[in-house]
Structure 1
Amino acid sequence: MASLKPHLLKPLVPGVRFMATNKPAAQNVIPTWNDYFKLRKKRRAYEVASYLPCTIAPAFGTFAYFVQMQVDPLTKILGLDPLMAAVGATIGAGFGGFLLGPVFGNSLFKLMNSKAAQGMDARDKELFEHIKKNRADARLNSIRNPVPDYYGEKIQSVQDYRSWLRKQREHYRKGVFGGDVNGLED
Structure 2
Amino acid sequence: MAATKMQSPLSILRASAPLTRPIHTSVFHAAQRPQALSSALVLSRHASSATSTSSTPTQSQTPQLSWDEFLKLRRSRRFINLGSSALSGAASVAIAVPAFAEFEIENIGAQMTGLDPMFVIGGSLMGVGAVGWLLGPFLGTAFFNIWKGSVRKEFARKDKDFYSHIKRFRADPASSSVNNPVPDYYGEKINSVADYRRWLKDQRAFTRKKNKNLL
TM-score, normalised via structure 1 length: 0.71
Residue 85 (structure 2) aligns with: 51
Q: Tell me the distance in 2 between the aligned counterparts of 1:74 and 1:127.
A: 50
Which of the residues 128, 132, 139 maps onto 2:167?
132
How high is the sequence identity, in percent, across the aligned residues? 33
Unpaired runs of 5+ residues, structure 1, are 1-10, 12-22, 181-186
1:152 maps onto 2:187 in alignment: yes
Q: Tell me the distance in 1 between the aligned counterparts of 2:180 and 2:159.
A: 28
Residue deviations 1:123-156 (CA, integer Å, cap 9, x gap): 1110111111111122343566431112211111
1:174 shift after superposition: 1.3
Which of the residues 138, 148, 153 maps onto 1:103?
138
Give the total of aligned pairs: 158
Cα RMSD after superposing both structures: 3.1
Unpaired runs of 5+ residues, structure 2, are 1-49, 51-57
CA 1:55–1:25: 2 relative to 1, 3 Å: farther
Residue deviations 1:88-143 (CA, integer Å, cap 9, x gap): 32221112111221221112111211122222211111011111111112234356
| Alpha carbons 1:110, 1:117 under 8 Å: kept | yes
| Alpha carbons 1:46, 1:109 under 8 Å: kept | yes
CA 1:162–1:93: 2 relative to 1, 3 Å: same
1:121 maps onto 2:156 in alignment: yes
Q: Tell me the distance in 2 between the aligned counterparts of 1:113 and 1:122.
A: 14
| Aligned residue runs from structure 1 range 1-186, under 5 A | 28-69=62-103, 78-80=112-114, 84-142=119-177, 145-177=180-212, 179=214
- The one of the two structures with greater contact order (alpha-carbon pairs below 8 A, sep at least 6) is 1
1:35 aligned partner, one-letter code = E
2:185 aligned partner, one-letter code = Y
